[in-house]
Each structure stands twice: as structure tokens, then as C-alpha cells.
Amino acid sequence: MSEDITRKTEYVARKLLKISTKWKEQNVTPESLKSKYPQLTTAIELLNSCFMTPYEQKMYIERARAYVASQKAADAGEQSAKNTADWKTALEEIERISQPTDQPFDRWQRMLTDPSYRQQIYDVADNLRNVNRPGFWWRFGNSEPLVGWLLQRGKCVYCDTDLIEAGYIRNGLAGTDHLLPKKTYPHLKRCSLNMLPACNACNCIKRHMDPSKSA
């Protein structure tokens, strides 16, 4: 298990670096980020800062066990099937209004530069929230995190698990990660560009780590 944890931790660190670098390369960052936090950390620094405490290891193992249990339960009830269908419709809508070759980061960038595209994305999120109001998609609180989820196609940004399809979100095993921690960056607390889907295992490794700072 400990070897698994090490591998997982390194994987999360690499993903964080990739995201940070992408943000930098493509100028995806909102103005507030660009001016205040220009330096992004190196892979080594990330790896160093990404070690797990015994508490984190315990959390990780617990979450992994919970996931296995939830898979066994395999609840494919009518309502969850409808939620998945509504989700797929929303994803198709995002595909329709985006360029076919777009990756999540391209979409983020376009959201920053094209107000009408941004509005369209928000409309999709609002529609999804309203299909069974107040229902499953209201768990996200408001449209901002849902936009983040839709742009990432509901996949954990660190380990690529499909959190909708695999029932993570339904079973309370996933949440919205603030890439730049909301504690340090309260003004980005509700910024959809800073809100990413993450499984609890990855989020628990990442915790309050700030990828824009050195370790």
C-alpha cells in the first residue's frame, strides 16, 4: 500500500505541475493571478511539498476502501440514471458550442477572452441545475463549480477518474478542488477557473498545497 501511496502522490504532483505550466503557457490565468502570482513551482518542489502525513495516508486508505464498497453496492437506480443522462446532454451541449479539438484548457482560455462563449457555458450549467430543481446538480451550490466540472468533463484533474460515471460524486467520494487554495486566495473562492473536479483521495493528498508557490 505504501508504494501505491508514493506512486499516487507523485502522480498528483505531476498533474499539478502540468496544470500550473499550462496556465502559464497559455496565459489562462485571470488578471488577479497574473499580476500577483507569476512564479510557478518546479516538479521537484512539487514532489517535495506533496508528501503525505500519516493522517493523510489514513484518509487516503479510508477513501479507497469506501470506493470499493460503493462499487460493490452498484446502485444504478432510476434517479442516478437520469442524472447521468442529464449530465451527458450537458456535455454534448458543451461539445456543440466548442471547437471539436478543444481541450479543457482551450475552453478556459476562450472563456476569458470571449464573453459570449462564457455566457453559453454558464447557460449550459444553469440548465443542468434547473432540470430537476432543486435536485442532484444543486449539490454543487451554484453554477461556478459546475462550469469547472463541465469543462473537465467530470474527470478528476489529477487521476482522470470519471467521477460522474464511476459514481464518485453520487457516493460522496469526490468534490470541487480549489487549485489555488481558497484560504490563501479568498477572491478566487468562486472563480470557475479555479474550481476543478477531484476525487477525495487526490484532494486529500493535495489539500491546501499552493501550486503557485515554492515548497
Positions touching Zn ion (CB under 5 A) are 156, 158-159, 199, 202
The three cell numbers locating residue 2: 505504501
User: How far is 36 from 167, CA to CA, in rounded Å?
Assistant: 38
Question: In terms of CB distance, is 33 or 199 closer to Zn ion?
Answer: 199
Supply the minimum distance, in Å, between the C-beta of residue 166 and Zn ion. Answer: 10
Instruction: Check if the beta carbon of residue 197 is closer than 8 Å to that of residue 157.
Output: yes
Contacts of 186 (CB under 8 A, 6+ apart): none
Name the residue nearer to Zn ion (CB basis): 94 or 199. 199
DSSP state of 193: G
Residue 5 or 124: the one with the smaller Cβ distance to Zn ion is: 5
User: In whole angstroms, how close is the CB of 17 to Zn ion at the nearest point?
Assistant: 16
The minimum distance between CB 163 and Zn ion, in angstroms, equals: 8
* CA distances for 200 relative to 64, 159, 187, angstroms: 9, 11, 24
Cβ(12)–Cβ(4) below 8 Å = no
In whole angstroms, how close is the CB of 72 to Zn ion at the nearest point? Answer: 20
Distance of closest approach, residue 16 Cβ to Zn ion, in angstroms: 12
The kind and range of the H/E element at 61 are helix 54-73
Comparing CB distances to Zn ion, the nearer of 125 and 174 is: 174
Nearest CB to Zn ion, comparing residues 86 and 177: 177
